[in-house]
Structure 1
Amino acid sequence: MPRPIAIAALAFLLASPPALAGEAEIRAAQTVIQNQIEAFLADDAARAYSFAAPNIKRYFPTQQSFMAMVENGYMPVRRPQSHAFGKSEEMSPTRIVQQVLLVGPDGKTYEAVYTLEMQGDGNWLITGVSMRASNALST
């Protein structure tokens, strides 16, 4: 009878490293988002722009064009009163989707869904953000 327990324990141990690796990757991606939000709040355009992936930089080749886009379409991300990480999903070893719940400068709640990809140098960068008003109540 102890044999099935030992097999189950071994299966759990073998399954644990990938789950831990996924959690570490998600934390790394969340750190990138956190750092970009902090850069936005500090009006540090260069630092905020540094977290954008090459696909974003092709559309917005200067810090000024990038910041203008953020200010015109993503003010809750640019100037959040508060934010919290929601659901996340590792789509592949190099792609993560992360939900961020925000209270915008207008006091309304928003949901931002970030996509991030690991670059060739091992760093995570933001490849896109979609945002919508949230039905959640802000406190």
Structure 2
Amino acid sequence: MRGLVGGLLLVMVGTAAWAVDDGDRSAARATIERQLEAFKKNDPATAYAQAAPQIQSMFSSPETFLAMVEQGYKPVLHSRSYSFDKTEDAEGDQLAQAVMLQDDEGVDWMALYLLQKQSDGQWRITGCHLKKAPGTSA
């Protein structure tokens, strides 16, 4: 599992310097956690608020955003459990955060979140790449 995470992080962030500080790491994880908890509570407004403005502009409302997540990211929307793995610095004010999660059917997944630090200092999600964990059948 860690080999997959490391490989995906290298692909996603290229040859950027690995200089994420603890404050950024914690703030980015808190953003992801707010969104995952909002999904569990069926709170589309809070989940949508964690997305970067360029993502929000793609959806007419928090409910439309939630419908997209329901269609393409069910393991994220309906996670039974999750834990944070590696965090890597990307270019500029961006980072990649790996999250190991298990869906409500017990299938293990790896979500690679991409986040960007906004002008107000807040970290917001710019993307999520989802893959089944190695060795997972279902």
In structure 2, the residue matched to 1:73 is 72
Larger radius of gyration: 1
TM-score by length of 2: 0.80
Preserved CA contact (<8 Å) 1:79 1:105: yes
Question: Helix, strand or coil for the counterpart of 1:101?
Answer: strand
* Amino acid across the alignment from 1:134: A
TM-score by length of 1: 0.80
Deviation of 1:119 after TM superposition, in Å, equals 0.6
Paired with 2:115 and 2:104, the residues of 1 have a C-alpha distance of: 25
In structure 2, the residue matched to 1:98 is 97
In structure 2, the residue matched to 1:63 is 62
Query: Share of identical aligned residues, percent?
Result: 37
* Amino acid across the alignment from 1:103: Q
* Amino acid across the alignment from 1:88: T
Preserved CA contact (<8 Å) 1:109 1:136: no
Instruction: Spell out, residue by residue over 1:20-69, the C-alpha distance to the aligned partner (whole angstroms, 9 max, x if none).
Output: x7121011100100111011101111111100111111211211110000
Aligned residue pairs total 119
Q: Which aligned runs of 4 or more in structure 1 are off by greater than 6 angstroms?
A: none
Structure 1 stretches of 5 or more lacking a match? Answer: 1-18
In structure 1, the residue matched to 2:46 is 47
CA RMSD of aligned residues (A): 1.7
